Structure 1
Amino acid sequence: RTFAIPDPSSLRVGSGGATLNAVATLADLLSLDGLRVADCLVIMIHSGGDSQRLPSNSVCGKAWCAFPSEGAQGSLDAPLDLVLRHLRRMFRTTRAGLV
């Protein structure tokens, strides 16, 4: 599964605050299924910033913008789709934990 977890209340909390918030939120979400973070393979990707060099992507963010690459069902991929596809292959045999 993939989760996109924003900073709390749209505050800018920096990378450290974003990491703590993401791990705490992930723990809450996983606990709904009776899982713990330690039981899962977790790959955390920070994707933020103001997109000042790409103002057309400032609303959704660079990681979510359309990319000229065709996805599995003929839709356009976002850069994050490509990264996740490769990371899933790379870490397919990795044991549970935070990567």
Structure 2
Amino acid sequence: MASHTRAPAALDVIAVLHALADPVRLDLVRQLRESDTAIACGRFETRVAKSTLSHHFKTLREAGIIATHREGGQALNTLCTAELEASFPGLLGAIFRRAQS
């Protein structure tokens, strides 16, 4: 599984907002945002089936929100914070402030 990141100019606001509109994907992003390290696909706290989770990861990757890279036998996910912040300053902060209230 290769890393799927986009240059900041290539991020599409509609794709990003669509990906973040789903509660499961928003929770995955929250977990990545709160983590100091990359998280393996099987290590997220979620109750969805593995096949459904794969779909959510794909949607987040295609929107440019997360990047996935292989390390050994694991697929590790990281949040593309710098790219998102460069394209949409303050978006993640605003979404998560709203989600907490």
Q: TM-score, normalised to structure 1's length?
A: 0.25
Q: TM-score, normalised to structure 2's length?
A: 0.24
